[in-house]
Amino acid sequence: MGTDKRRASRQAEAERNDQALLAAAREVLAIDGAHASVASIAAAAGVGIGSLYRRYRTKEELYQRLCEIALDDYARAAEEGLAHGDPWEGLVHYITTAVSFGPGSLAPIAGTIEITAEMAEKNERSDRAVEMLVGRAHRCGALRNDATALDISLLIEQLAKSPLDDHFKRQQMAALAQAARTARERIVAIAIQGLRAPAHQPLPGDPPGYELFSERWASRHDNPSP
């Protein structure tokens, strides 16, 4: 079909550039956090700033797209976990996969962008899957019964960010960055072990409420310091 030929070289380059941009943005955001600059994202993708702004009219638009992709990844990881026959193994798959995403593009920019409809929808899908995953693991007795789905979500967020890895990446020390990554895998294994039933002693305080998630995305553009 002619379409394939029309989509050839030049348009194909545009497509490749878009993928490179999204991948680079994800990486840079994970390392530099909220202070990542558009210039550094374009540079990391090997693309001019102009090309970036031809695809996304603004920085926020790019960030929104990144969030949608990240939320989709989380939802998929949770659904893969549900596909596992063993409830515990399924939960472990979700946790390790989600952690391996790194801080993704979510936490660093929470509250700085407007939530799109697509983001809200993917988020609900993800929440539902995680809730089912945790419920299953509770019922089969593998997961300690005082750990809630929100506890696990917060645990994932806590483990996802690796300051050590980021630091060595920023300094271009690849070997040490790799070592930092395997060190974190050990820590994740420790945390997962801590989720197994039975627990030696109950978790302190009340279980976390959902406001911890929802309130943080209520984007308030008013700066705290006038």
Q: Which residues bind DNA (CB under 7 A)?
A: 5-6, 8-11, 13-14, 17, 35-40, 46-51, 53-55, 57-60
| Backbone phi and psi for residue 16, each to the nearest 5 degrees, phi listed first | -60, -45
| Binding of a second copy by 84 (CB under 8 A) | no
3-class DSSP state of 92: helix
Handedness of CA 76, 79, 84, 88 (dihedral sign): positive
**Which of DNA, a second copy, none lies near 59, with the C-beta cut-off 5 to 8 A by kind?**
DNA
Interface residues for a second copy in 117-136 (CB under 8 A)?
none
CB of 60 to a second copy, least distance (A): 18
**Which of a second copy, DNA, none lies near 172, with the C-beta cut-off 5 to 8 A by kind?**
a second copy
Nearer to DNA, 37 or 178 (CB): 37
Interface residues for a second copy in 173-212 (CB under 8 A)?
173, 176, 179-180, 182-187, 189-196, 199-201, 203-209, 211-212
Nearer to a second copy, 49 or 173 (CB): 173
| Binding of a second copy by 4 (CB under 8 A) | no
Nearer to a second copy, 56 or 168 (CB): 168
Nearer to DNA, 13 or 124 (CB): 13
| Backbone phi and psi for residue 143, each to the nearest 5 degrees, phi listed first | -95, 130
**What type of residue sits at position 77?**
A
Task: Report how far residue 167's alpha carbon sits from residue 170's, in angstroms, rounded to the nearest whole number.
Answer: 5
Task: Report how far residue 18's alpha carbon sits from residue 55's, in angstroms, rounded to the nearest whole number.
Answer: 8
Angle, helices 174-193/163-170, rounded to nearest 10 degrees = 170
| Binding of a second copy by 221 (CB under 8 A) | no
| Binding of a second copy by 167 (CB under 8 A) | yes
How many CB atoms are closer than 10 A to CB 73? Answer: 18
**Which of a second copy, DNA, none lies near 224, with the C-beta cut-off 5 to 8 A by kind?**
a second copy
Task: Report how far residue 206's alpha carbon sits from residue 202's, in angstroms, rounded to the nearest whole number.
Answer: 11
**Which of DNA, a second copy, none lies near 69, with the C-beta cut-off 5 to 8 A by kind?**
none
DSSP lists the bridge partners of residue 196 as 143
Task: Report how far residue 7's alpha carbon sits from residue 60's, in angstroms, rounded to the nearest whole number.
Answer: 28
**Tokens 């490179």 found at:** 20
CB of 123 to DNA, least distance (A): 24
